[in-house]
Amino acid sequence: MTQTPTAHSPAQGQARAHFTVPAQHPMVTVLGSGDSLLRVIEKAFPAVDIHVRGNEISAVGDAGEVALVQRLFDEMMLVLRTGQPMTEDAVERSIAMLRASADGKGPEETPAEVLTQNILSSRGRTIRPKTLNQKRYVDAIDKHTIVFGIGPAGTGKTYLAMAKAVQALQSKQVNRIILTRPAVEAGERLGFLPGTLYEKIDPYLRPLYDALHDMLDPDSIPRLMAAGTIEVAPLAYMRGRAQPRFTNVLTPDGWRPIGDLQVGDLVIGSNGEPTPVLGVYPQGEKDIYRVTAQDGSWTLCCGEHLWTVRTRDDKRRDKPWRVLETQEMIGNLRAAHARRYELPLLTAPVCFPEREVPMDPYALGLLLGDGCLTGSTTPSFATEDPELAVALEEALPGIAVRHRGGPDYALNRIKSPGDVITLENPVTRGLRELDLLRTRSHTKFVPDVYLHNSADVRLAVLQGLLDSDGDPVTQQDRTCRIQYATTSILLRDDVIALVQSLGGVAYARRRAAEGRAPGRANGREVAHRHDAHIIDIRLPDGIEPFRLARKRDKYHAAGGGGRPMRFIDSIEPAGREECVCIQVAAEDSLYVTQDYLLTHNTLNDAFIILDEAQNTSPEQMKMFLTRLGFDSKIVITGDVTQVDLPSGTKSGLRQVQEILEGVEDVHFSRLTSHDVVRHKLVGRIVDAYEQYDSKYGTENGTHKPRGKAAHGHKGK
């Protein structure tokens, strides 16, 4: 379009512009049906005469206004070239943006950039921003982790957020969508509404359902919700991912009940490293389930508690781990005869602080396996492998290992020149300090100072136990497993804990003493007096189970231990308990709970939308924001002029603006009546209420108190 002064210009300062519509664009797309778009333009530019002849458009009038008309038609053609039609509303908004730009208050974005930004195409329609503020809101969602969309009704806050969520899900940027609203509106309470829980919830969540149906195939929505890919729930139910208060959680100092944890305390994450607790949220009494793995490990949690799992198909197709609620897996634990859900294991041994020990850990493991610790005689050790006797002597300073015949060795104190009194055997002294003196085969245990020590110490104890009482078990066409046997229940549990703390798995079974054929010792039969506990062990690559050469060589010749795996075996009701949930700072949000199971309750890889956020309390807002997991995005929408909270309760959306304004990666997008995309009258109504509130000092329909005399009273 070219602009040139002509002899027909009425006065100096006026101009003529001429524009030719390309032949591929019918004039009706430019002028509108019945010239509706042309009338909008003529009404907006009364000082400009606009004439149309064929595909030629000319404009004569004030130079500044003619220049705006020229820019308007240029922008309209840019939009039309994308295949998007122009509407009266789009023309009006384009004119408003161009006028703001001409006044020096305009945006960097052009009308065409705003109107052609497609977010999502579904079922023959395309969702895109319609105003400049809407475009900036959508851009902010792309650029920031947490975005607040604050503005009056009808500005597209929730709808655009929903479109961005569906777009992120379809492009695999996230694995799930979480949609939530506070279930408080117009003073109503869920408990006083008729119907079931879902019938009570439905009215509050209906706008979210409606938006979903606009953007996805309606037939796919129930399937996505059943799979947990889309979750729609009131805000109160978002915080229900919890464990009973007495459930043990692993910390650098050992096990602690989850109910005793406080913000700032350290727990152990999936990488074995300490990670701080970011939030602790009491949940009240909830229905509890016992989640049991096939190796016998188990823990308790509520139905909404989150688990990171994957199926065999996920692994085969190299898909990422998924996050499911406990209740989503109930009744779906088998794929044919195989267990469906694999649980993650520690990616590295647990890092406990290193502690001083009174005896070499490898030597302790050997003595717990084949040592005589009764204290009634000189400590002794039995083995058919002289290599172990040599290793034991090297590991015990001041001790000479003397061969007494057959498999028996005595552990004698080395006397120093000048000794005039009998000194206690160093091994006896160490056993006494560890409370192991006078223990027998069925009462032995691993002292806590070794169980919760560095990974090197724990591995050395395990190697001593396996070198003495363990064996590599080979099977054709399979990797090698390790088998360990003991008659001590305590030692059985401690060996399992050592294996699990190093990232392995252990399966225990009992072999009853009754009915077993007697063994033989020194040519005579010896009856079994105690049940035996057999433990099958698999350790991850890089963890060497044996030091004894013959066992180590056999283990590696069979290909090592393979990959330890742990699957969910059962989920069963376990009553009701007082519960608490925690949030941790670990990147994957996982923490170690009972039996070294990995679990979490934070929302990772999710697009989370909190709608009607003005009806959250400050406590609810804090709870919601701190549930943010890694690779997730949160959009919070609300209208601070329509708070329906009880009198005296401050809106969490109002308060959070004071707290988080200016915080990095948190953005506040504020929309106004100019961004209302419903009936034009809605924008006028919003403006009228704002003027009324400004004039009379009202807040949410109630006059603000003025001065001390008005404290606690409503104005008239």
Domain map (residue ranges) of the chain? 2-113, 126-227+605-675, 241-345+567-599, 388-515+528-563
Return the percentage of the chain with pLDDT > 70, whole number.
84
Give me the chain's average pLDDT, please.
83
- The encoded tokens of residue 302 equal 């509520």
Do residues 437 and 358 make contact, with C-beta atoms less than 8 angstroms apart? Answer: no
Cβ neighbours for 175, distance < 8 A, ≥ 6 positions apart: 169, 229, 320, 322, 323, 605, 606
What's residue 19's pLDDT? 82
Picking from 232-236, 402-406, 439-443, which range would have the lowest pLDDT averaged per residue? 232-236
* 711 pLDDT above the threshold of 60: no
Q: Are strands 380-382 and 408-413 parallel, antiparallel or unpaired?
A: antiparallel
Cα(18)–Cα(187) distance, rounded to whole angstroms? Answer: 60
pLDDT at 409: 94
| HSE-CB for 605 with a 13 A CA cutoff | 17
Q: Above 80 in pLDDT, residue 187?
A: no
**Over the stretch 405-449, which tens digit does the pLDDT of each residue have?**
889 999 999 887 766 566 788 999 999 999 999 999 999 999 999
Instruction: Find the helix packing angle between 455-469 and 489-501, rounded to 10°.
Output: 130
CA gap 230, 241 in Å, rounded: 17
Q: Rounded to an integer, what distance in angstroms lies between the CA atom of residue 179 and that of residue 238?
A: 10
The confidence band for 691, taking pLDDT boundaries of 50, 70 and 90, is confident
Residue 276, beta-bridge partner list: 266
Mean pLDDT of 218-232: 77
β 470-475/408-413 pair status = unpaired
- Mean pLDDT in residue range 204-227: 77
| pLDDT band of 40, cuts 50, 70, 90 | confident
Least confident of 25-29, 162-166, 255-259: 25-29
State how far the Cα of 219 lies from the Cα of 239, in Å rounded to an integer.
29
Residue 346, helix vs strand vs coil = coil
Q: Which CATH number describes the domain made up of 388-515+528-563? A: 3.10.28.10
Query: Is 126-227+605-675 a CATH 3.40.50.300 domain?
Result: yes
Topology, domain 241-345+567-599: Endonuclease - Pi-scei; Chain A, domain 1 (2.170.16)
Asked whether the beta carbons of 360 and 461 are under 8 A apart, the reply is no
How far apart are alpha carbons 257 and 593 in whole angstroms? 10
Mean local confidence (pLDDT), 56-65: 86
* Residue partners of 705: CB distance under 8 A and separation at least 6: 711, 712, 713, 714, 715
For 663, half-sphere exposure in the C-beta direction (CA atoms, 13 angstrom radius) is 12
pLDDT at 452: 95
CATH 3.30.1370.10 given to domain 2-113: yes
